Amino acid sequence: MAELIDGKRISKEIKDELKAEAEKFKAEGKEATLAVILVGDDPASAVYVNNKKKACEYIGIKSLSYELPKETTEEELLGLIEKLNKDDSVNGILVQLPVPDHIDENKIIRSISPLKDVDGFHPLNVGALLIGEKGYVSCTPAGVIQLLKRSNVDIEGKECVVVGRSNIVGKPMGVLLLRENGTVTIAHSRTKDLKSICKRADILVVAVGKPKMINADYVKEGAVVIDVGIHRMDNGKLCGDVDFDSVEPIVSKITPVPGGVGPMTIAMLMDNCISSLR
């Protein structure tokens, strides 16, 4: 029986630490403000944005909400971001992705001041992470590191395999594990013999976006498995990229879906917001 890595509990622990820190800052007259921009009416994005605003409220971060119609032009969005970049009372700016097709996502990411880019998506922050300089780190991979550390999983010297190479999760995940002195492999859809690569892993982080793709054939006995995926199945239930029922009996620790990595993303976003005051 594997130990469950409880992302709900760990994210609450982090949010409570941040709440105490926010109170301390408030006593010094400092308050963080996050501007949250949502373009269009994607229901999943609306839920995420709402959860982010609720987390801000819990911790004591002021949130400014910009809910723009799907017809909003790229110029209009860039104009709003420019205004927020210049506004000294705003510490963090977040544009919920995806944006509608007529808006260039990369252009939007680059337009946010790197000093306010609490998502850690700006190329300057990605570059800073790569060379070990200070900067905002992408929230989901940062959350995975916290899950491992707070579950007493030692990363140093371990075989770490990341499945998936997205800019938001896979690539920064690899760099963060490397920063913790893990021995890192980033595997992906073109990787030959993915099963045997994954089977080497002491720590396996899966972010492939395919429901239940990773089963017991891919994991070593006693490994630690982190599942970044989230999918809604036909029966309405949620599942991850890992086939939990197949993998759980042979590993030492595993994240559930839901309640694993998901809640950590918002906790780390809040950490990035508070860190703007540090």
Taking the least distance from each CB to ligand GUN, the nearer of 77 and 94 is 94
Nearer Cβ to ligand GUN (4/97): 97
Selected from 94, 126, 148, 247, the binder of ligand GUN by CB under 6 A is 94
Q: Which stretch binds ligand GUN (CB under 6 A): 3-11, 62-70, 93-101, 181-189?
A: 93-101
Minimal CA–CA distance to 186: which of 227, 201, 236, 126? 201
Residue 96 annotated in active site: yes
Site string for ligand GUN, 112-131 (x = CB under 6 A): -------x------------
Query: In the complex with ligand GUN, which residue's Cβ is closer, 241 or 243?
Result: 241
From candidates 96, 125, 272, 275, binder to ligand GUN by CB under 6 A: 96
Which of 4, 46, 78, 97 is the binder for ligand GUN (CB under 6 A)?
Answer: 97
> Which residue lies nearer to ligand GUN by CB, 93 or 161?
93
Residue 119 or 248: the one with the smaller Cβ distance to ligand GUN is 119
Structure tokens at 23: 């109170």
Give me the least distance between CB of 168 and ligand GUN, in Å please: 6
Q: Is 236 helix (H, G, I), strand (E, B) or coil?
A: coil
Task: Please work out the total of residues on this chain that contact ligand GUN, with binding judged by CB under 6 A.
Answer: 7
Q: Answer yes or no: 52 catalytic.
A: yes
Q: Does 265 bind ligand GUN (CB under 6 A)?
A: yes
Pairing status of strand 238-239 against strand 33-39: unpaired
Beta carbons within 10 angstroms of residue 213's beta carbon: 16
| Distant-in-sequence, close-in-space partners of 114: CB < 8 Å, separation ≥ 6 | 122, 124, 125, 135, 136
Q: How many helices (H) and strands (E) does the chain have?
A: 10, 11
Task: Give the contact letters, 133-162, x = binds to ligand GUN (CB under 6 A), - = no.
Answer: ------x-----------------------
Any contact of residue 273 with ligand GUN (CB under 6 A)? no
List the catalytic residue out of 6, 15, 96, 253.
96
What is residue 194's three-state secondary structure? helix
Note whether 72 binds ligand GUN by CB under 6 A.
no
- Tokens standing for residue 83: 């205004």
What angle in degrees, to the nearest 10, is found between the helix axes of 7-27 and 262-275?
Answer: 20
The overall longest dimension of the chain from CA atoms, in Å, is 56
- Angle at which helix 123-130 crosses helix 170-179, to 10 degrees, equals 30
Q: CA 137 → CA 169, 175, 188, distances in Å? A: 10, 10, 22
Point out the residues that are catalytic. 52, 96, 119
Binding site for ligand GUN (CB under 6 A): 94-97, 119, 139, 265
